[in-house]
Amino acid sequence: MQEREKSSNFAQNTNWFIIISMNAYLSISDEVQHALREGRAVVALESTIISHGMPYPQNVSTALSVEQAVRDAGAVPATIAIIGGKMKAGCSKEEIEYLGKQGQQVTKASRRDLPVLLARGMDGATTVTTTMMIASMAGIRVFATGGIGGVHRGAETTMDISADLEELAQTPVMVVCAGAKSILDLGLTLEYLETKGVPVIGYGTDELPAFYTRHSGFRVDYRIDSPAELASVYKAQRAAGLKGGMLVTNPIPEEYSMPEDVINAAIDKALQEAAEKGIHGKQTTPFLLAKVKELTGGDSLAANIQLVLNNARLAAEAAVEMAE
């Protein structure tokens, strides 16, 4: 029985290696390749948070700290980005430094941007959507981020809905986050995910976290209290042949959670200014996050860093359980 299992695992790993070798645009670091071929835990990390989410040098130091948090929990980090027209699964420290220094000069790359960036040999910072895509191509099953995009406030007239939700509906990756960003319409975001059949799980909570705060007033589909059960549920989803990914919402630690009235007042003011300036599309989220940071005196940035670290640790623990 054990020999058959070993033979099956070898065949799966061989097939995986053949598939990724045929993708001329996919580049997997040696460390990540070795971990995947040996069946060890790997956690994908996005790069938009580096180039568009925080100022330099905090963006670089945070990215490296998040990678270290993944290592400390027993997994291998794979920061994902587009570098020189290659989809990179596993960036070097030098590449992370480069993305941090370039900042918003690097294209914020969603699904629609990939063909042009790859063909032109350009750089791109991957959103939740493109990080999920590249992680799945590389064979990585778990991804840690800050917060997902969702249905924007006023979407009934603007139709501004993040591609993250569509990707969750079709790409088989577990996404660990601190909920949807609180600048969004959280109720409509949950409704959209329900329509798409995406399980929304609260880690240690029955309530959807709202990024900077632990509470939103909206209930999640299921509560799970251990990384082992997260791994079990994900494995059941895959074994049953069910389409799509899974959203795990992990509340920001209590000591870093911001008062709801403070953050909501800042968000309302930021939204008003965005409307007055005609900001829309992919520029909306970076503008709102920067404005909220300004209005809260930098408290939102400190909270952002802590929630990403918290999510990275949980994602690594779940990935280790999957590997076992």
Cβ atoms of 290 and 304 within 8 Å: the answer is no
| CATH classification (class only), 1-140 | alpha beta
Cβ atoms of 152 and 158 within 8 Å: the answer is yes
Query: Could you tell me the CATH superfamily of domain 146-324?
Result: Indigoidine synthase domain (3.40.1790.10)
Stated pTM of the model: 0.88
Pair type for strands 76-83 and 124-126: antiparallel
Give the 3-state secondary structure of residue 271. Answer: helix
Distances (CA, A) of 54 to 51, 87, 125, 162: 7, 22, 13, 20
Catalytic one among 67, 97, 108, 181? Answer: 181
- pLDDT per residue over 280-312, tens digit each? 766 776 777 777 777 776 677 888 899 999 999
The answer to whether residue 86 scores a pLDDT higher than 80 is: yes
Mean pLDDT of 65-77: 98
Give the 3-state secondary structure of residue 253. Answer: coil
Calpha distance 300→246 (Å, rounded): 26
Burial class (CB in 10 A: 0-12, 13-18, 19+), 102: middle
| Joined tokens for residue 186 | 């959280």
- The question of whether 277 is a catalytic residue gets the answer no
Cα-flanking dihedrals φ and ψ of residue 224, to 5°?
-130, 140
Cβ atoms of 45 and 63 within 8 Å: the answer is yes
Residue ranges covered by each domain of the chain? 1-140, 146-324
Cβ atoms of 250 and 176 within 8 Å: the answer is yes
- The question of whether 46 is a catalytic residue gets the answer yes
Percent of the chain with pLDDT over 90: 70
The answer to whether residue 4 scores a pLDDT higher than 70 is: no
Fold agreement (1-140, 146-324)? yes
Catalytic one among 46, 67, 95, 97? Answer: 46
